[in-house]
Structures are given as structure tokens and as C-alpha cells.
Structure 1
Amino acid sequence: MQRLSSHQLLQELRGVKDLLIVQDLDGVCMQLVQDPLNRRIDASYVTAAAQFGDSFAVLTNGEHEGRRGVNRVVEQALGNDLHPARNGLYLPGLAAGGVQLQNRYGQVSNPGVSEAEIAFLTAAPHRMEELLRRGLSYLLPEFSPDQLTQLAHTAVLDTQMSPTVNLNGVFAQIPDDVVRQQALQGLLQQLMGELLTEAVQQGLAGSFFLHVAPNLGCDADGLERLKPAVAGDVGTTDIQFMLSGSLKEAGLLVLLNQYMACHYGEVPFGEEFNVRIAPNNQTDLLKLVQDRIPAERMPLLVGVGDTVTSNRADDDSGWLRGGSDRGFLTLLQTLGTWSGRANRVVLVDSSHGEVDRPSLSHPFLAGITDANDPLQLNVLMLGGPDQYITWFQQLAKVHSSTIANKSQSGLN
């Protein structure tokens, strides 16, 4: 496939008025770190995002609010110079896989989520920590009880809508010990399964699912597959306990619904549309768009992510393709094929951070894609978040100038 350079994409988007950029966060505009509380974001990126207005939205499995939310990272970046709520500098879009909706002024809602579900999620981090502490005592016998307690405490991310266990800190204690890293991944899957069972026992059957990151796609039952640790690639580091319907591809339609409301005064999928009532597969999501939005009204979509995986199956029967960004990037690409728009997929190299990830510099993109992959990666940002932020700022200037000229033409 003939790929575009970042400069070529910039030129291609010059003058496009009906543009919608849908972008992941961690690993794209922020380096991946072992402890998410240490994330940093560039203030210049935040102000550039605001220049796009309604033409930009985030779509992340992270969260907007809470002490671990990206809003805290934005506030830290801006310091005392700019007030994000007053100046509309929070990052708009969907978090927690699609159940946490925010506008530029930091107003957050959780459409389709019940009080009982929120109560279970609030209690989940304590239970995760308890189960993890117990399991670590068997797998890491050389660590003291106090050390194990601290490792478990650090590993549990008490996010509001998608509490998570992140093994990066534990993996760092046993570098290159692939056998025990794989055992830790199995422990993680087991304890999160216990939590799902407890939810069912409390009358919340069907309310939650487990998002495995990175993953190797889904098995025959629709469950996301672990990506086992191997030398040079730790594979699965996180499992998020997420609300059902929290799929990025469904979130793409929520953002498209918002875009149409802003630009045409119409909500093709309805005022109350959210990821929890959206179809849960690519075929039905595509059909919903085709039925409700005329192809000629579709905006030009640019999807930006960093987590796409492809690994050959152990039995050599084919490829296991996954990654938390694959679903929405694939749907975005398919929408372009249907509408006749040159939608573009941008992949940012997140191997530059503190987490072992396959690099885009590999000549065959091993572990990321394969020769028969239906997802076409149009632009590769080998320089990671630093390169992407520079390009993003350039595009913001170009786009804001385009919109200003459009407005001036309207006045004339």
C-alpha cells in the first residue's frame, strides 16, 4: 500500500471545511508511562485542539474526570495562565470507551448509565486491589507483604467509569521474566472474571465487560483475547472493567451524531443516542449510518490511534488482529469507502514511552499489521507523540484559516 507522509496528509486536508478528527489520547498526544498519574501533555497541543472547534473530538478508553482523568493533566499543563473551563480548553469528546461525554468547557455526562452500575464501579477498585494482592503473594514470593500491598495499590487505577488494573509497575519488577509476566496476565484475567461474577450476583448481568489492552481481537464468544508477553513486547498490560456498550466504534457514531447536529441542525440517530443503545457490531453500525445520513453529507474523517495489533495464530491458521483502536479506525475507513470520501487512518508510534510496544520502525510492522490486514494505515507517525503534536499544530493553523475564510465568504 502506498502510504502518505505527514506533510502529504497536511496538504491533502488543506481547504477541507467539513473535517472531523477523531483521536485517541494515551500514546498519541502523550507518551505512554508506567504510572498514568505521571502523564504529561503539551500546553501547545491543548490550545491547538481548541482551534479546531467542532472539527475535533477525542475517543479514549481513559477518562475525562476524577483524579486520574485527562482533565487534571490539561489543568496541570495550562497552569495558572489559562482557565480551561472559562476558555473552552478541555478536550471534547468521549472517554471511558464512550460512556463519558464532555464538551470543551468540561461539562461531563454519563448517558445511559444507571445509579446501580455507578455504585458497583465505585466499589470495584477496592475489590480489585484485594484480589490482586492475594494473587501477587503466590507469584512474587520474594517480595515482602508491604511491598506487595504497595504494588497492588499502584496497579489499580480507581477511574470513575472504567476501573482498571495496570500491570506495568509489576512487570518492571521482573523485567525479562516472560514466564512470570504471562502468569501475571493470567492472574489479571482471573481476578477480573471474579469481579464480573460478583456483578451478576448483584443483579447486574450484562452491565459490564472486560477490555483487554492490548489484545489479539475476540474469540468465538466475543471475549477479547490476551496478548501474551514475549521477549521485547510485554503484550497485555491492562484490563479495564467497562460498561457494556463502551466500544469505540459505537462512540464514533455518537461523535458523528454531534457533528451533524452542529453543522446541519439534525441528529440523525436521535437526541438520546449513546453507546449503550447503539448496535454492537460493525455491520449494524455501518447500516445505521447508511440509513440515516446521506452519503454527500458525510464529513471527511481522520482517525488517529496508536494501538493496533496483528499476530499470527499459534496453529498458523491465520492472523489474530485486535487493539483498542482497530474497531473505530476500521469503521471510519469503511465509512469513507461507502461515502466516497478519502477518510484517513493515522497511527502514532507509542513505543517511545516507558511501556514495551512494537515499533512502527520495523520494516514489516511486526505485531501491528500484516500483508492481508483489511485496515489500511494511511500515515505512520514514526516520531511518536512529539511528531504528531507538531503536525497537529500545523493542521490547526491551516484549518482555523479555512474556517475563517469560509465565515468571511458567508458574510460577503
Structure 2
Amino acid sequence: MERLSPEQLLSELVDVEDLLIVQDLDGVCMQLVKDPLTRRMNPRYVEAAARLRGSFMVLTNGEHERRRGVNRLVETALGSEDRPAKKGLYLPGLAAGGVQYQDRFGRLSHPGVSPAEMDFLAAAPRRMEDLLLERLPALLPEVDRARLTQLAHQAVLDTQVSPTVNLNGLFGLIPNDLERQQQLQLLLDDLMEQLLQEADQQGLQGSFFLHAAPNLGWDATGRERIKPSVAGDVGTTDIQFMLTGSLKEAGLLVLINRHIAARWGEAPLGDDFNVRTAPRTHQGLMELACSTIRPEWMPRLVGVGDTVTSTPAPDGQGWLRGGSDRGFLTLLKDLGRWCGQENRVILVDSSHGEVDRPGLADGSLKGISDPEDPLHLDLLMPAGPEGYINWFRHLAERRSEKVAA
């Protein structure tokens, strides 16, 4: 299948009456950075998202609120802490993989999450720091204790419902040492596994899972595969401690359900449908949608992401495919085939930031896709977030002009 140019997709979407753009954030509308607290958001992007009201939702593994939340970036971009809430300029949609919902006024909820789970998550960042400080000295003996304490604190992202350890600062100490970078990834995986066991011991069996970003899909036990560091591709940089059910593909159905309810006055999956009650497999999600949603109520969907991976399997038989956006983009395409419409997928090149990732510049898609990949990428954005924002703004402007006319 041929890919589209930005102008072709723009022209295709301008006149769509019932449109829903479902978009990731980091690496898509802002550059990937080693320290999330240094992220910046373009005010023109925020304004364009507001123009697309009713046709735009975010779906991110990041979070909306607190000091690391995207809401702070919106406020900084617009130069006001009050205006976004008063004018409804926050980015609506799902965060933390789908367990944190926000409307455009910044009203937040965590459907399906228990107080005991919230309490464990609140204590998790400090526990992550302590475990890092126990294990890092053996791997980084040349780094003194004071520096390791500082790095461990920086590595832990103290978000509300998806606390995360980010390895970028530690990778910076050993930029050319692939063996120790891989050892760091395994250390982190083991550390987070210990945290899962501690949750089980507190009566929270099955409440949480580990999300590796980027990853190589799921193994036979249902765990995400770490993507090892190799030359030119740092591989897995983050592991998030997430609530079970926090899957973007389930989040996509939640957003579709809410969109249909707003447009047609009826939520086909129920008013209380959320990612924690949703099926956890692609097949289960497809079966639920096909048996419950009227095809004529389905909006025309456009999915936008930056994290899709594919590498040859070690045994030479096939491919290991993953990436935090692959699941929801694949479901989006399959839903289009089911209801007889051409849903579109946009992939943004996130290799322009501070994190070493495969890019789109040479057109090979090495490390991203493969010749047998069932996920068709309709539009590639090799210019990265800057190129995507320009396209997004033009779409918002042209749809606004159409409405005004």
C-alpha cells in the first residue's frame, strides 16, 4: 500500500464530519528529552488542539497532573496558570496508559482505581530510589555515593499513577559501554519485579504490571520484552509501574465510547466503561467493539504515535514487534476495516530529540517496521514534532474555515 503525503491526508480529513484524532504526546508534539522536566510545548499546538475540540483526544503513558504532568506544559506554553481551566484549553483524553481521564477544563478522574492501589503508588517512588541506591554501586563503582544519590533521585519520575524509572541520566555516565547499559536495563527490570512482589505481599495481587519503553512486544509469560541497547539505539530507557489494564489499545475503546456518547447521546459500552474493566487482548477488544458499537456510529479515526518497533527474532524466524503505540494503532486500523472506512495512522520521527532512537530519514524503517509488518503506516513525519505540529495546525485552521463558511 502506498503512503500518503501530508497534503493528501490533510485534504482527505478537512471535510470529514465525524473525525476523532487520537494522539500520543512525547515524541509527537514535543521532542523527546532525557529529563521530562525540561520538556516544552508549542503554544500554537495547544491553540490548534483547542480548535479541533470534539475531534481530538490524547492517549499517553505520561500523566496530566502534578509537576511532571502535561498540564504544567500547557500552562507554561500559554503563559498562564488560570486561563487553560477557564477557557478549556487543557488537552483532553487519557493519560497513564488509560487510567487517568481529563476533560479540556482539567477535571481529573481515575476510573476503576482503588484507594489501596493509590496508596501503594504514592509510596512507590521513594521505594524505587532506595532500591536503586542498593544496587547501583556494584554496577557503577567509579561513581561516588553522593552522585549516585543525586542520579537515583533524578531517575525516578514521581508521577501519580504510573511512577517510572528513567535510565537516560545513568546511560549518560557510560555512553559507549553497551555491556553495562544492558546490565542497567536488567537491573531495572529486576528492581521493578521486586516492587511487583511487594505489592502482592500487601494483598494487591494482579493490580500492577511493568511497561517497558520502548519494548519488543510480549513474551510467552505476558511480560513486555526489554529492548537491549545496541550501537545507535539505546533501547529501553524507561520502565513504568502501571495499573493493570493501563493499555493504550483499551484506552482507544474508552475514548471512542466517550466520543460516541457525546455525539449520539448513548455510550454503547456503558457509561462506566474503563480500561480496568476492558478486555486485555486485541481479539477481546475487537470482539467487544464489533458486538456492541453500531458501525454507523464509529468516527473516522486518525492515530498518531512515535513508538513502534520491529527487530529480527534471535532465532531468525520472524520479527519481534512492539512499541507503546503499536497496540492502539493496530486496533485503530482493524476497527476501520470492520466498519468499512479507512482509518489512518501517522508515525512521527522522535529521533530528533536527546534520546538515541531509530529515525525515518533514510526511509528504511530499520528498527521500526519490517517487510512483513501488518501495521500499515499511512503517513510518515520524518521532520519530527516540528513537522507534525505544522501539519496539525493547518488541519485545525482548514477545518475551522470550513465550519465558519
TM-score with structure 2 setting the length: 0.99
Contact 1:248/1:327 (8 A) holds in 2:
yes
Contact 1:97/1:251 (CA < 8 Å) preserved in 2?
A: yes
* Counterpart in the other structure of 1:29: 29
2:105 match? 105
Partners of 1:404 and 1:246 in 2: CA distance: 39
Report deviation, 1:404. 4.2
CA deviation vs aligned residue, 1:327-351 (integer Å, no higher than 9, x gap) = 0000000011111111000000000
Aligned length: 405
Q: Secondary structure at the match of 1:54?
A: coil
Q: Which amino acid aligns with 1:5?
A: S
Is the partner of 2:129 in helix, strand or coil?
helix
**Ranges in structure 1 where 5+ consecutive residues have no aligned partner:** 406-412
User: 1:337 is matched by which residue type in structure 2?
Assistant: R
1:49-68 matches, within 5 Å, as 49-68=49-68
SS of equivalent residue, structure 1 residue 347: strand
Note if contact 1:59-1:252 (Cα within 8 Å) is conserved in structure 2: yes
Alignment-derived partner of residue 225 in structure 1 = 225
| 1:22-74, Cα deviation, whole Å (9 max, x unpaired) | 00000000100000000000011001101111110000000000111000111
Q: Could you tell me how far apart the structure 2 residues matched to 1:244 and 1:284 are?
A: 16
Code of the residue aligned with 2:102 in structure 1: it is Q
Partner SS for 2:400: helix
Between 139-148 and 78-87, report the one with greater CA deviation: 78-87
SS of residue in 2 equivalent to 1:364:
coil
Which amino acid in structure 2 is aligned with residue 402 of structure 1? K
1:341 is matched with: 341
Which residue does 2:366 correspond to in 1? 366
Q: Tell me the TM-score normalised to structure 1 length.
A: 0.97
The residue number in structure 1 matching 2:391 is 391
SS in 1 for 2:54: helix
Aligned to 2:116: 116
Q: Output the CA distance in 2 between the equivalents of 1:80 and 1:60.
A: 23
- 8 Å contact kept, 1:17–1:402: no
CA-CA distance at 1:81 after TM superposition: 9.1
Counterpart for residue 313 of structure 1: 313
Deviation at 1:82, TM superposition (A): 6.9
Partner Cα separation in structure 2 for residue 81 and residue 395 of structure 1: 27
The equivalent residue for 1:128 is 128
Amino acid corresponding to residue 268 of structure 1 in structure 2? P
Give, in whole Å, the separation in 2 of the partners of 1:129 and 1:401: 51
C-alpha distance after superposition, 1:242-296 (max 9, x if no partner):
0000000000011001110111001000011000000101111111111111212
1:12-411 maps to which residues of 2 (within 5 A)? 12-80=12-80, 83-405=83-405
Q: Tell me the distance in 1 between the aligned counterparts of 2:357 and 2:5.
A: 22
The answer (yes or no) to whether the contact 2:75–2:81 under 8 Å persists in 1 is no
CA RMSD of aligned residues (A): 1.0
Q: Extract unaligned runs of 5+ from structure 2.
A: none
Taking only the aligned residue pairs, the percentage that are identical comes to 66
* CA–CA distance in structure 2, aligned partners of residues 261 and 197 of structure 1: 39
The Cα offsets for residues 138-177 of structure 1, whole Å up to 9 and x where unpaired, read as 1111111000001100000000000000001111111111
Structure 1 counterpart of 2:335, one-letter code? L
Report the Cα distance in structure 1 between the residues aligned to 2:325 and 2:120, rounded to whole angstroms.
27
**Aligned equivalents of 1:5 and 1:228: distance in 2?**
33
Deviation of 1:363 (Å): 2.9
* Kept after mapping to 2: 8 A contact 1:151/1:169: yes
Distance 1:6 1:174 in 2: 39
Shift of residue 222, structure 1, vs aligned partner: 1.1
Q: CA deviation at 1:298?
A: 1.1
1:410 equivalent in structure 2: none
Given that residues 17 and 403 in structure 1 are in contact (C-alpha distance below 8 angstroms), is that contact kept between their aligned partners in structure 2?
no
Question: What amino acid is the match of 2:126?
Answer: H
Counterpart Cα distance in 2 of 1:282 and 1:312? 22
Residue 11 of structure 2 corresponds to 11
Deviations 1:387-412 (A, max 9, x none): 0000000001122233445xxxxxxx
